[in-house]
Amino acid sequence: MGRVAIIGVGQSAFVRAYPGSLRELAFEAFKEAVEDAKVKPGEIEASLICSAPEYDRQRSPAGVIAEYLGLIPQPTCYVETVCSSSTTGVIMAYSMIKAGLYRIVAVIGVQKMSELSSMEVQERMGRGADIQWESPFGTMMPAYYALYARAYMAKHGLTLEDLARVRIKSSLYGQINEKAVYRKPVSMEDFLNPESRFAQLVASPLRVGDCCANADGSSCIILASEDVAKSVCEKPVWILGVGSAAEAVTMTGRPDLSEGLRVAKVAAEKAYRMAGLGPKDIDVAEVHDCFTIAEIMAYENLGFAKPGEGKELIRAKETYKEGSIPVNVDGGLLSKGHPIGATGGSQVRTIVLQLRGEAGPMQVKDPEIGLVHNIGGVGLYGNVIIMGR
């Protein structure tokens, strides 16, 4: 089949506590996406509902959400790869269209985390690890990424100030993103002042300011075949390359932790090869900055910097909007928030808006190629998607 394009994108505001139901939350992004794509629900031939289970009481939410959105009797299914669920959905939808099965597919990512307490959320996140050999011993998400941070700092000389610089950049752009959950400035003083909330230790060396926030939110990406895209869309964004990978669940099965996430490297290599492009061709990127160390590792795993040199990019502000490789200029997970199932779709939406020149105050100057890097769990799953205008 021909090329596959993204013709519509939508996202709810990411908030601490959404007052409605899961299906109503999904509608927020879906409504925006169908209006953007200029299609009707009845024209969508299949849907993929993406989230992480156990945050909502509804079992098998795909059918319930598809019904509410007016997408039945067209087929639907539930997609889950933890935090990378909605980019897995985008890759699946891309494959379904390339195979000629459908012409228009909607990918809806949604998560309502506020129905659980913070303790309950952490416990469920911990169950994303091996429930026999690791999570019963208290290894929560901050502790896992702290292992990577410690290993990286020991080998490459990364400092606490370097980690803080990632969050400071994130907060700069979170302030201008009307959909972000955290829209306040953060300074180096917030990290250096021992009385500051941002400086409070979570899992050494990671502090409160190094960690992203849970949120409620939804995203929607509508993909279409080339003939449909050209007929309904003035600015289709083409999917040029995709890559996915998986990793050993337990830390003992991982390679050198100081080198970052192997899934990101492998997925990026596949996506670059498929697109016929390399790291230097990327004009703007969205990376999975669930923790500040994750963004530094992503710089290197994606080839934007050599191993150990990712810190130089943030020190020189090369990943700011005006830099050589703008990264997370929508605030990233650190400021935008992290509603697990909706996160990847939100990243894709940001890149689509950038490539269309419709990102408003977050707009990078004249980008042609954009990249999304979305990680599930502690590097358990990895997806990379490259798009072009």
- The residues annotated as belonging to the active site are 83, 338
151 CB neighbour count, 10 Å cutoff:
16
Four-residue CA torsion sign, 51, 54, 55, 58: positive
The CA distance from 44 to 53, in Å, is 25
> Phi and psi dihedrals of 212, rounded to 5?
-75, 165
Helix 292-301 / helix 141-156 crossing angle, nearest 10 deg = 60
Q: Which DSSP letter does residue 279 get? A: G
The CA distance from 175 to 187, in Å, is 13
Q: Are 90 and 220 in contact (CB under 8 A)?
A: no
Measured torsion, CA atoms of residues 35, 41, 43, 44, in degrees rounded to the nearest 10 = 100
The CA distance from 191 to 254, in Å, is 31
